[in-house]
Amino acid sequence: MAEKVKTVRGFRDLVGEEARKYRFVVDTARKVLERYNFEEVILPTVEYAKLFARSIGEATDVVEKEMFVFTDKGGREVALRPEGTAGAVRAFIENKLYADGTYKKLFYEGPMFRHERPQRGRYREFHQIGAEVFGTANPVADAELVGLADEILKTLGVEARLEINSLGCKKCRPRYREALLRYLREHEEELCEDCRRRLERNPLRVLDCKVEGCRRVAQEAPKITDYLCEECKTHHEKVKEYLSALGVEFTENPYLVRGLDYYTKTVFEFVSPELGKTVLAGGRYDYLVEELGGPPTPALGFAAGVERLMLLLKELPPRPPLVVVIPFGGEEVKREALKVARLLRKEGVRTELSYREGKIKKQFEFADKIGADFALVVGEDELKSGLYTLKDLRRREQERLPFEEVVRRLKEASS
């Protein structure tokens, strides 16, 4: 045999049940999003690399070491998108979606790419379904967006606990950063190696380090919520108030910081206790549109990890019942079976026409093997009498029925 070509590391096929799970997650999320009047945008997978550097942040891990970057034939640096928000913002600006002066609610879905070590629930090509709201600073939007996320997870039957925090704005975050940095410097020798490195670059990250010593230091660290300016504080209080009004349960986590630079004010994460991983996360990014060359536009959004949600699905909705049409006999029978199968499909019945030849026993074995619920025998006797043999393979009972009755029964079973 010739050499087998395999998938690239971290890339994979979704086959059979995996494909159905993927579809179920995406379709379910889409239905909820459409009920909230979000509109789909279909975005490119490749963007100029600088888009991500400027939005996510030069110094973040995602940009620094996880992007698939390459040079195109014109010598431009392009990248496979590592997340969806940057592209959505770029599209919002490029298509001038701000022009009518209202706010815009968009969603997208598709593959993202990060060059990381693959493991369970983490692949180099993974999929996200994301939602973005452009053009409102109203905390009602924050609460409703989180509520929407909550509804998607509940509809999927996925359990996750919600954590929220506020990261402040241009006015208050620098003040907090200074205070935190001062505090962390005093305790530098208690921090792990990684965190000492983080100190200058991204001191907020130290707060959610899992190393014992760092956690102790973080416990006593100044909390951002104590440093919020009036506007941010009010915003944060309102978001919590509205969430409670919606009946969405949450816990406040002052150490929740997120790894991307563009966040302001509200940030949130839904964490699955079963996976020990975040399945959906997002927040507000009030300066990003402006920073990417658009008009000043407050905005917020989230992204859900499709693969992670797939791992948490308890059950898939069943496929509709399957009938196998079994031709038994000569050419005339095959012609009839072709027509019969087509008519059944036209009536909405999931139908497989058996291409097997030979003993009828083999035909039934085939029907059984592919998981059929019914077998419909089209043989010489059926042609003569006009009565078709319909067998319920689960109950192991069969009847000879006129075609109209066969259709009626199968349609009923399919509904």
Partner RNA sequence: GCGGUGGUAGCUCAGCCGGUAGAGCAGGGGACUGUGGAUCCCCGGGUCGCGGGUUCGAGUCCCGUCCACCGCCCCA
Q: Should residue 246 be labelled a site residue for RNA when binding is judged by CB under 7 A?
A: no
Among 24, 30, 78, 116, binds RNA (CB under 7 A): 116
Instruction: Closer to RNA by CB, 136 or 278: give it.
Output: 278
Q: Select the residue interacting with RNA from 381, 401, 405, 414 (CB under 7 A).
A: 381
Q: Does 9 bind RNA (CB under 7 A)?
A: yes
CB-CB contact of 268 with 164 (8 Å): yes
C-alpha–C-alpha distance, residues 375 and 322, integer Å: 9
**Least separation in angstroms between CB 391 and RNA:** 5
Q: Pick between residue 73 and residue 210 the one whose CB is nearest to RNA.
A: 210
Pick one of 28, 60, 264, 351: the residue that binds RNA (CB under 7 A): 60
- 138-157: contacts with RNA (CB under 7 A): none
Nearer to RNA, 172 or 304 (CB): 304
Choose one: 46-54, 61-69, 173-181, 286-294; the region binding RNA (CB under 7 A): 61-69
**52: contact with RNA by CB under 7 A:** no
Nearer to RNA by Cβ, of 116 and 290: the residue is: 116
The reply to whether 126 sits near RNA by the rule CB under 7 A is yes
Please report whether residue 254 would count as binding RNA according to CB under 7 A: no
Stretch touching RNA by CB under 7 A, among 146-154, 183-191, 209-217, 244-252? 209-217
Distances (CA, A) of 72 to 46, 54, 124: 11, 20, 21
Distance in angstroms (rounded) separating the CA atoms of residues 139 and 145: 10
- The minimum distance between CB 276 and RNA, in angstroms, equals 6
Give the range of 19-27, 71-79, 276-284, 285-293 binding RNA by CB under 7 A. 276-284
Half-sphere exposure of 269 (CA within 13 A, CB side): 18
- Count Cβ atoms below 10 Å from residue 3 Cβ, excluding itself: 5
Nearer to RNA, 98 or 106 (CB): 106
Q: Name the site residues for RNA (rule: CB under 7 A).
A: 3, 6-7, 9-10, 12, 60-62, 66, 83, 114, 116-123, 126, 128, 194, 198, 205, 209-211, 258-260, 269, 276-281, 303-305, 307-308, 328-329, 359-362, 364-365, 367-369, 375, 377, 379-382, 389, 391-396, 398
